[in-house]
Amino acid sequence: MAESYLELDSGWIQALHALERQFFAERLGPDILADAHAACPKDTGRLDESLDMQVIDDEGDGKPVLEVGSYPDEEGDVPYAAAVEFGFNGPEIVKAHMRMGIPVAESMRHGYSPEQPYLRPAAYRERY
């Protein structure tokens, strides 16, 4: 019986990472992002508009990493993104503002907001 063996090209891992990167960028990332947009609560629309994805290379081993989430917009970070996803129950600061033409001073209050998950269901959905 003749011996058989398998020889791998020395660049196989880089080729594999390139295919993973392509899959993340062209299929998985856009699918997760579309599901997150569909499930995102839309009050002002800012949170929904801040959702995006990117594929980056892990600096340690070069493996591609898919990141989907809320990214800063022209106003900066969307600070309530995590509170919408996970809910919030605790003290919060109400900034000074005008209410019906009357100035209202900054104050502290107890805030409660139930969770409204939009990223976790999108990320954990069984696909393909």
3-state secondary structure of 127: coil
Neighbours of 84 (CB within 10 A): 21
Distance CA 116, CA 81 (A): 10
41 and 84 Cβ atoms separated by less than 8 Å:
yes
Question: What size, in residues, is the chain?
Answer: 128
Per-residue pLDDT of the chain (128 residues; tens, 9 = 90+): 678 888 878 889 889 999 999 999 999 999 999 999 999 999 999 999 999 999 998 877 889 999 999 999 999 999 999 999 999 999 999 999 999 999 999 999 999 999 999 999 999 999 98
Backbone φ, ψ for residue 106 (5° rounding): -60, 140
- Please name the residue ranges forming H helices in the chain: 12-23, 29-39, 46-50, 81-86, 119-124
Q: Residue 102's beta-bridge partner residues?
A: 99
Q: Is the pTM of this model over 0.95?
A: no
Neighbours of 78 (CB within 10 A): 19
